[in-house]
């Protein structure tokens, strides 16, 4: 089948690399003619590194995002841009999506799917929207050059579920779902929305703990396992639990921290997405991580002072690099 990918950072290239090893037709949507030329100069190749081996994967199609001459329908689209870029990035191809299309969203944080519906399809007729929770740890080393650190042996590495929309019946047997489920390296599970929401909240807590702390330390994930890092993450987790506990039955601060520490250890050599952005002098997704917790906390009258402090620190780092 033909799959378009929007966003060619670590996760977008990872999805494209694994799809290509299974002979899928993959088209990368690139944001400028210069990016299309650069990819052509690299022979339309993605370098995929895993467990000490490097694979040169060829045969990708590349298309200019928003090319006015290309109005062909997009049936399957993986969106791997950062959460704060997604509205601008998707706008040029929104008209090529219909109720027969399926989108898979792979962003950290929460609230993105609802933003898309509100901005592009407020009156219904939206595509089928899948939301993914990804535990594959992947680092972008250079353009179209990535290293996959963990997740390939994790049976819970990628969960997907369909956003329920009242005007649209569920279509659980879409080609994109079936493709993702059929590829062993993805370790994909298709969950109900109620199951998926729990996974999303737990991933939110993991990212809210690890990402800002590792980014303040300017080190890889394993840096958060120090005594000071663990103490700070515990404060974050306690606040997150107070905000989200009604939606996480059976969980405690201790059980959530155990999950956070296990993932920090498993993905210890990875550089988290927030730190990758800061290192690249780019804006981060912090408003969709700790910022989202602060927003919910404010609505519920719950103190989130530790999370807000980290939001402010990450924004301060961003401002250092902005023109």
Pairwise CA distance, residues 289 & 294, whole Å: 9
Task: Verify that 186 and 270 share a domain, yes or no.
Answer: no
**Residue 169 has what pLDDT?**
53
Residue-wise pLDDT for 243-267, tens only, equals 999 999 999 999 999 999 999 999 9
Residue-wise pLDDT for 260-317, tens only, equals 999 999 999 999 999 999 999 999 999 999 999 999 999 999 999 999 999 999 999 9
How many domains is the chain built from? 2
Tell which of 140, 161, 191 closes a domain.
Answer: 191
**Residue 323 has what pLDDT?**
66
pTM for the full predicted model: 0.86
The upper half-sphere exposure of residue 208, i.e. CA atoms within 13 Å in the direction of its Cβ, equals: 34
Write down the H helix ranges in the chain: 10-21, 33-41, 86-90, 112-120, 175-182, 193-217, 227-244, 253-266, 273-279, 290-300, 305-321
Task: Verify that 181 and 53 share a domain, yes or no.
Answer: yes
Tell which of 191, 219, 236 closes a domain.
Answer: 191
Band the pLDDT of 170: cuts 50, 70, 90.
low
CATH code of the domain in which 103 resides: 3.40.50.720
Task: Verify that 57 and 77 share a domain, yes or no.
Answer: yes
Residue-wise pLDDT for 39-65, tens only, equals 999 999 999 999 999 999 999 999 999
Tell which of 159, 191, 223 closes a domain.
Answer: 191
Q: What range does the domain containing 242 cover? A: 198-321
């Amino acid at each position: 089948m033909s799959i378009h990918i929007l966003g060619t950072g670590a996760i977008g290239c990872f999805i494209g690399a694994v799809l290509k090893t299974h002979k899928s037709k993959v088209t990368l949507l690139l944001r400028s003619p210069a990016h299309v030329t650069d990819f052509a100069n690299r022979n339309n190749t993605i370098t995929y590194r895993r467990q000490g081996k490097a694979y040169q994967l060829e045969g990708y199609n590349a298309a200019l995002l928003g090319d006015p001459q290309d109005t062909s329908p997009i049936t399957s689209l993986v969106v791997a841009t950062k959460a704060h870029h997604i509205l601008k990035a998707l706008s040029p191809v929104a008209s090529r999506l219909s109720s027969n299309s399926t989108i898979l969203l792979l962003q950290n944080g929460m609230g993105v799917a609802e933003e898309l519906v509100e901005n592009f399809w407020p009156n219904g007729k939206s595509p089928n929207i899948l939301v993914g929770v990804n535990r594959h740890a992947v680092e972008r080393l250079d353009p179209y050059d990535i290293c996959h650190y963990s997740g390939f042996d994790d049976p819970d590495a990628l969960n997907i579920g369909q956003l329920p929309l009242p005007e649209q019946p569920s279509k659980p047997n879409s080609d994109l779902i079936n493709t993702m489920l059929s590829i062993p390296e993805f370790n994909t599970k298709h969950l109900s929305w109620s199951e998926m929401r729990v996974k999303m909240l737990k991933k939110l807590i993991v990212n809210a703990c690890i990402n800002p702390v590792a980014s303040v330390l300017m080190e890889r994930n394993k840096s958060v396992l120090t005594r000071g890092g663990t103490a700070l993450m515990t404060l974050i987790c306690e606040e997150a639990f107070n905000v989200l506990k009604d939606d996480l039955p059976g969980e405690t601060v201790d059980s959530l921290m155990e999950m956070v520490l296990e993932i920090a250890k498993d993905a210890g050599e990875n550089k988290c997405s927030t730190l990758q952005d800061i290192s690249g002098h780019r804006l981060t997704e912090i408003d969709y991580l700790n910022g989202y917790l602060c927003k919910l906390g404010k609505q519920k009258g719950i103190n989130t002072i530790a999370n807000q402090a980290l939001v402010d620190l990450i924004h301060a780092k961003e401002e250092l690099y902005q023109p």
